[in-house]
């Protein structure tokens, strides 16, 4: 097994952890202009005399600590702040950053990620390193925090962000929307969606809302019409839904893929057609609320714990809703993967390959092989206990394999080695 190494070493700082982000934002849609005041409450893990935050190409006017202005330097995506004193470990401090500018996506090997302008509005697609495109943060997935997000924009637009809407105040031509996300959240899962949306509540065991452009109303209602049943199936198989509510946003632009955020998923207009041809994606994004959002990887090399489970959830939904059984999906994808290059290590695919389709499908195959090895009762008990034990926490592959071992009647060392650390595709049980 490989030694720990961050896939994105230019992002994040291990010397402190963040407890809370308080973001007060103003956004003008036409000129794509963002003004922000971010109050970041952090806790040093060692004595610190400087704090480093990730932040995109904004103009920073002030950085304050305890009301006092601090010296700072801001370049190459890093805001480096001189604390003015030595900060002791474990004592929380709040750094206030005032900034403004035109938000733009962070450049990455997959194109721009983060804040994006829409034809009429804006959205955030933060995975994996897009959070600094709109707020100063400690941009590493294992550093989860609570959030308050307040956005003021033109009154004709809806603002949808993570968590619970706690206030909506109109003044003149603008409205201020304030959301609170109390459960810990990774920076890449924080999001703001702004558009001319119609919102409807969906039935089901958990409060669900659907936001969509008026012209797509009939298609959206139909394509998400089985989501309540899907949520009930996943709650039975994976454990209770981990958040207070779930929101789906359909933007009035085409997107390459849907995007998950905490308590929320974002789909493109091209993902709704009125005939549920993309329903597997509805299942995939919903499953991420358990696998990715409640249980979040400590390091991007463990992304199979997110995408493997979300892909396997597609197969679980298929078999529970009258489609092909998961084993049929597994056999089909095993044949396809066997014909592809055998050069991907699932538990450490490399930064370039974290979104390789083989991570998704081999991850799902690994879980199906484990299900065949343990049996249905032990497998789904193991999964429910996994989501309960690490609820709202941070997880690693080693923790998962140790957890799964408790439900097996024999040692699984060879099983996990061949599926997770050997590039060659094993036989399917």
Please tell me the predicted confidence (pLDDT) of residue 393: 98
Closest to 208 (Cα-Cα) out of 189, 235, 184, 186: 235
Residues 285 and 302 in one domain: no
Residues 62 and 149 in one domain: yes
**Residue 302 clears pLDDT 50, i.e. is over it:** yes
Residues 24 and 157 in one domain: yes
| 205 confidence band (pLDDT: 50, 70, 90) | confident
Average pLDDT over residues 34-53: 98
How many percent of the chain have pLDDT more than 70? 99
**Residue 2 clears pLDDT 50, i.e. is over it:** no
Structure tokens at 390: 């690490």
Closest to 233 (Cα-Cα) out of 416, 125, 418, 380: 380
Contact (Cβ atoms closer than 8 angstroms) between residue 359 and residue 304: yes
Is 45 domain-assigned? yes
Kindly report the average pLDDT of the chain as a whole number: 96
**Residue 392 clears pLDDT 60, i.e. is over it:** yes
Please tell me the predicted confidence (pLDDT) of residue 66: 87
Residues 37 and 96 in one domain: yes
**Residue 199 clears pLDDT 90, i.e. is over it:** yes
Residues 84 and 230 in one domain: no
Structural domain including 138 reads 16-106+124-189
Indicate which CATH number applies to the domain containing 379: 1.10.390.10
Long-range contact list for 342-347, CB < 8 A, 24+ apart? 342/423, 342/424, 342/425, 343/423, 344/423, 345/420, 345/421, 345/422, 345/423, 346/304, 346/308, 346/419, 346/420, 346/421, 347/1, 347/301, 347/302, 347/304, 347/397, 347/420, 347/421
Instruction: Give, as one character, the DSSP assignment of residue 110.
Output: T
Is 273 domain-assigned? yes
Indicate which CATH number applies to the domain containing 204: 3.30.2010.30
Residues 267 and 362 in one domain: no
Name the domain boundary from 263, 289, 315: 289
Q: What's the pLDDT tens digit per position in 313-344?
A: 999 999 999 999 999 999 999 999 999 999 99
Residues 381 and 249 in one domain: no
Average pLDDT over residues 120-142: 97
| 7 confidence band (pLDDT: 50, 70, 90) | very high
Please tell me the predicted confidence (pLDDT) of residue 144: 98
Is 171 domain-assigned? yes
Name the domain boundary from 189, 218, 236: 189
Please tell me the predicted confidence (pLDDT) of residue 119: 96
Residues 266 and 306 in one domain: no
Average pLDDT over residues 162-169: 98
Is 4 domain-assigned? no
Strand, helix or coil at 340?
A: coil
CA 47 to chain centroid, in Å, comes to 31
Q: How far apart are CA 385 and CA 295, in angstroms?
A: 12
Average pLDDT over residues 110-115: 93
Please tell me the predicted confidence (pLDDT) of residue 247: 98
| 204 confidence band (pLDDT: 50, 70, 90) | confident
Residues 389 and 351 in one domain: yes
Please tell me the predicted confidence (pLDDT) of residue 6: 84
Structure tokens at 304: 């199979």
Domain count, the chain: 3
Indicate which CATH number applies to the domain containing 82: 2.60.40.1730
Please tell me the predicted confidence (pLDDT) of residue 94: 97
**Residue 108 clears pLDDT 70, i.e. is over it:** yes
Is 112 domain-assigned? no
More confident residue, 106 or 5: 106
Residues 329 and 381 in one domain: yes
**Residue 429 clears pLDDT 60, i.e. is over it:** yes
Residues 156 and 284 in one domain: no
Name the domain boundary from 245, 271, 289: 289
Q: How far apart are CA 48 and CA 27, in angstroms?
A: 34
Contact (Cβ atoms closer than 8 angstroms) between residue 58 and residue 99: yes
Is 165 domain-assigned? yes
**Residue 4 clears pLDDT 70, i.e. is over it:** no
Structure tokens at 55: 């932040």
Is 2 domain-assigned? no
**Residue 1 clears pLDDT 50, i.e. is over it:** no
Average pLDDT over residues 370-392: 98
Is 31 domain-assigned? yes
Please tell me the predicted confidence (pLDDT) of residue 3: 40
**How far, CA to CA in Å, does 72 sit from each of 65, 179, 357?**
12, 29, 42
Residues 176 and 320 in one domain: no
């Amino acid at each position: 097994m490989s030694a720990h190494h961050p896939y994105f070493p230019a992002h994040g700082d291990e010397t402190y952890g963040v407890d809370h982000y308080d973001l007060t934002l103003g956004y003008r849609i036409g000129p794509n202009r963002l003004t922000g005041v971010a109050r970041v409450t952090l806790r040093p893990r060692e004595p610190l005399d400087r704090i480093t935050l990730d932040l995109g190409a904004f103009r920073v006017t002030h950085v304050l600590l305890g009301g006092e202005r601090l010296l700072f330097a801001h370049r190459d995506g890093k805001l480096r702040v001189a604390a003015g004193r030595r900060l002791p470990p474990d004592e929380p401090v709040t750094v206030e950053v005032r900034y403004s500018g035109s938000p733009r996506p962070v450049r990455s090997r997959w194109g721009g990620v983060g804040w994006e302008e829409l034809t009429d509005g804006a959205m955030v697609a933060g995975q994996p390193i897009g959070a600094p495109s709109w707020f100063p943060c400690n941009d590493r997935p294992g550093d989860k925090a609570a959030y308050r997000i307040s956005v003021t924009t033109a009154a004709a637009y809806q603002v949808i962000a993570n968590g619970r809407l706690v206030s909506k105040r109109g003044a003149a031509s603008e409205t201020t929307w304030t959301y609170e996300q109390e459960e810990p959240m990774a920076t890449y899962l924080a999001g703001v969606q702004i558009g001319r949306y119609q919102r409807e509540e969906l039935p089901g065991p958990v409060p669900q809302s659907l936001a969509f452009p008026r012209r797509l109303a009939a298609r959206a209602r139909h394509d998400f019409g089985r989501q309540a049943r899907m949520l009930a199936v996943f709650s039975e198989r994976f454990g209770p839904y981990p958040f207070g509510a779930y929101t789906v946003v359909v933007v009035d632009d085409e997107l390459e893929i849907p995007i998950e955020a905490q308590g929320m998923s974002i789909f493109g207009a091209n993902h709704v057609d009125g005939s549920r041809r993309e329903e597997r994606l509805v299942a995939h994004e919903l499953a991420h609320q358990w696998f990715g959002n409640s249980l979040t990887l400590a390091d991007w090399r463990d992304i199979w714990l997110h995408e493997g489970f979300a892909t396997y959830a597609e197969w679980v939904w298929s078999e529970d809703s009258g489609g092909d059984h998961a084993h049929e999906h597994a056999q089909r994808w095993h044949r396809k993967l066997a014909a592809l290059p055998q050069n991907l290590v699932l538990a450490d695919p490399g930064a370039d390959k974290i979104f390789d389709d083989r991570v998704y499908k081999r991850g799902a195959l690994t879980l199906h092989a484990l299900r065949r090895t343990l049996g249905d009762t032990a497998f789904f008990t193991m999964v429910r206990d996994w989501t309960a034990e690490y609820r709202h926490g941070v997880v690693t592959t080693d923790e998962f394999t140790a957890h799964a071992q408790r439900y097996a009647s024999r040692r699984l060392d060879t099983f996990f080695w061949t599926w997770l650390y050997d590039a060659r595709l094993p036989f399917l049980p």
